[in-house]
Structure 1
């Protein structure tokens, strides 16, 4: 079946293989809808509410921190998205070009854990919301239902996920506007909403970090959804479509979360149901379906990353649609267990999870972007990605591996979480600036180290020619 004749319901046959020119399709605006539609969901609302429920910020500073964090973090997300049309492979496969075939396994394994964490978090959110508004569904059953919809989309693959999120862009977007209209125009905000909570630098930086992470967390898989685009899509068009789709799709529900968090006591989902009154029946149903769309993306990319690990160890394995289906079911079972076991302490577990995730993602995104845009200038030997010995990239690129480990270690004194607070973070009142330090240190260090490595390699080549 040709790309032109394929329908969203057509089963995707490829997994991590390079996408040939004959199968390329789509337009840059498709990247807007996939990131806009996939972000309008309950977990985004809950993440926005952290600004006022966990970090205890007043209304205006909460909004400023959330907007600034998203606008900044989305720059990195969109730069990764622009790589997809040029290389035609999943993001984690491309990571072999920076870390080597075996060197990339550490990063890919961490990314799989990330997907499972977000998948499980979304299952808990969707299940609890459905149970709250539709008591006939037990929480366990509701969690399974949300997950089942995600698995179906993952099995069918790329086209169905794009079509799913395109539909949710309109449906979830309309319901989001309904929420704002109902809360602001019908229910109204508390009279003292501007006086609630007290500003703190630690709370502001914590909120900024969470918002930036929300965008950075997409970096390891964002190009998975642009890799089928024609090579002439253009890096600029891919960048801006992804950037504004993800920014608007994230900021608007996070703002809703702030309003709910300040207006309702206790559980954010229960507060949303209370504030939207009769409209909550539609709100919960649509936002829960939206969670399933986003979870399909998490499971799809987690599956591709798991296949990447397998193909690295067994290069002759040509994984196809059946392999994707089986791998997706295994990962779904693992995430389902996490969701069912961790649902009682969800908010605490989720907050700690996303902050710890930030520390391991930051050095990877710095290395990947510096290598792609400043060192390799987008020119990679794609066939080498699929060789066990890494081809021209080898088993390990110790420059990248060393910089990655340094990037994690350099953040330790600046970390501020419930589990651990570094000495510098304590000295500045618990403010978390670790991810900023990680980006600022590793980006130039990796660039300079790569330049020196390249010059040494060039000098050795000249010497051998002589």
Structure 2
């Protein structure tokens, strides 16, 4: 936490982990979420993802249209998760216990851990490459250096992350406004802006990339709104999260698409090519690029920490003291940094493979979570039972588990990734509609049997969200 001392500020390690945040510790405004999610997108990993539609064969006009449509769609689900934070006061992934059961939730948690590690690796590789452009240090040492800084910020937690993101968002806004003017003065062939050259399969695949980018925040979006007061208006929570992530993502992806056309081999050294546009002031952009990669990587470490605690907690009850927090984060950082060192090589191929692989597992979880929260239970949960192995949500909810696994299986024929193209994707000339299947199918598979199960229950549909809070303040 950040606290005042003799008129100044000092930083203290966050004392909460996965447990409920009581009302007397709630603070902040919904508007604080805008810089969090705007800043989360102001990095060169987002920029690289904007290059993918161009690499798939779209021109600039259709690439930017696909980016906008995908961001607008995907952010609906992302921001809907953000609303859950103030209402429930617990991290995002532990909420999955209400759908999957206390033990059953380990299935999506385990998969989400790979998402965190994969994004940590991709962000770190880009940052290490950028550091290598300005300092004569080997890439492996750059990776270790980045991991160490991210570890320290993630260790101090929620308030420091919010504070860092506010400063970073302000700096990003100024420098990327200047960058945008520079980029749109670069020579770009006129045919890149015409609407006549349209490839449906590449367009749908590009929309899928932008949708998936937004959905990639779903496993940890409520982590950064859970300290807001319970009476924070849900509409404000939604729109500040939504606008921040859409504006940041569309801006960066569009720049990435333009730069891929304007600068030959731009993706081979994204950071160096971007900073080079500032000429003698390149060092300023280098610093911002590196800082942006560090900032988003903190999210991944912080989320991995929450998920690992959530996975272990049902079997071993323990208090997350600063020492325990230090130990968990250190192990996670070592593993993530080690994977990054081993994964050095062709970054863009790795990222393209990863972003699609991730979406096939993540999207069905999002669908089940949101249908349960908004349609079946109207946001009313017993937080006490979320932490109780023998509570009302049970050990395993087979309805959710079946819907989740079955949806992933059904997605396979629709997949179009560099490592596999499904038969239906082939019939559609390469169009990837797996994300749409992953949103709508699990919603139906979960909603109807779960509605019957809840209607047969003798107990009221749900306890009030504040019921029994005193019993869950310590886990």
- Per the TM superposition, whether the score is higher than 0.5 is yes
Superposition deviation, residue 459 in structure 1: 10
Superposition deviation, residue 112 in structure 1: 1.0
Please say if residues 49 and 258 of structure 1, whose CA atoms lie closer than 8 Å, have aligned partners that are also in contact.
Answer: yes
- Does residue 147 (structure 1) correspond to residue 147 (structure 2)? The answer is yes
Residue equivalent to 2:26: 24
Q: Equivalences for 1:41-440 in 2 at 5 Å?
A: 41-53=43-55, 55-132=56-133, 134-185=134-185, 188-192=186-190, 194=192, 199-268=198-267, 269=270, 270-314=272-316, 316-389=317-390, 391-440=391-440
Superposition deviation, residue 4 in structure 1: 8.3
State the superposition RMSD in angstroms: 2.1
Please say if residues 102 and 394 of structure 2, whose CA atoms lie closer than 8 Å, have aligned partners that are also in contact.
Answer: yes
Secondary structure at the aligned position of 1:90 is classed as coil
Please say if residues 3 and 12 of structure 2, whose CA atoms lie closer than 8 Å, have aligned partners that are also in contact.
Answer: no
Runs of 4+ displaced beyond 6 Å: 1-6
Please say if residues 367 and 442 of structure 1, whose CA atoms lie closer than 8 Å, have aligned partners that are also in contact.
Answer: yes
Residue equivalent to 1:464: none
Aligned partners of 2:241, 2:113: CA distance in 1, in Å?
22
Instruction: Assess, with a 3 A threshold, how the Cα gap between structure 1 residues 460 and 43 changes in structure 2: closer, same or farther.
Output: closer
Please say if residues 35 and 246 of structure 1, whose CA atoms lie closer than 8 Å, have aligned partners that are also in contact.
Answer: yes
Secondary structure at the aligned position of 1:380 is classed as coil
Structure 2: stretches of 5+ with no match in the other structure? 462-475
Secondary structure at the aligned position of 1:445 is classed as helix
Please say if residues 101 and 396 of structure 1, whose CA atoms lie closer than 8 Å, have aligned partners that are also in contact.
Answer: yes
Aligned partners of 2:128, 2:140: CA distance in 1, in Å?
7
Superposition deviation, residue 94 in structure 1: 1.0
Please say if residues 43 and 125 of structure 1, whose CA atoms lie closer than 8 Å, have aligned partners that are also in contact.
Answer: yes
Please say if residues 61 and 193 of structure 2, whose CA atoms lie closer than 8 Å, have aligned partners that are also in contact.
Answer: no
Please say if residues 399 and 449 of structure 1, whose CA atoms lie closer than 8 Å, have aligned partners that are also in contact.
Answer: yes
The one of 27, 39, 42 aligned to 1:40: 42
Give TM-score, length-normalised by structure 2: 0.91
Aligned partners of 2:459, 2:92: CA distance in 1, in Å?
31
Q: What are the superposed Cα offsets for residues 15-70 of structure 1, whole Å, 9 maximum, x if unpaired?
A: 111101110000001111111112101111111111112x1210000000001101
Q: What are the superposed Cα offsets for residues 192-233 of structure 1, whole Å, 9 maximum, x if unpaired?
A: 562799642221111111111111011111000000000011
Aligned partners of 1:181, 1:393: CA distance in 2, in Å?
53
Deviating more after overlay: 194-203 vs 400-409: 194-203
Superposition deviation, residue 258 in structure 1: 0.7
Please say if residues 131 and 142 of structure 1, whose CA atoms lie closer than 8 Å, have aligned partners that are also in contact.
Answer: yes
Aligned partners of 1:46, 1:331: CA distance in 2, in Å?
26
Aligned partners of 2:210, 2:293: CA distance in 1, in Å?
18
Residue equivalent to 1:14: 16
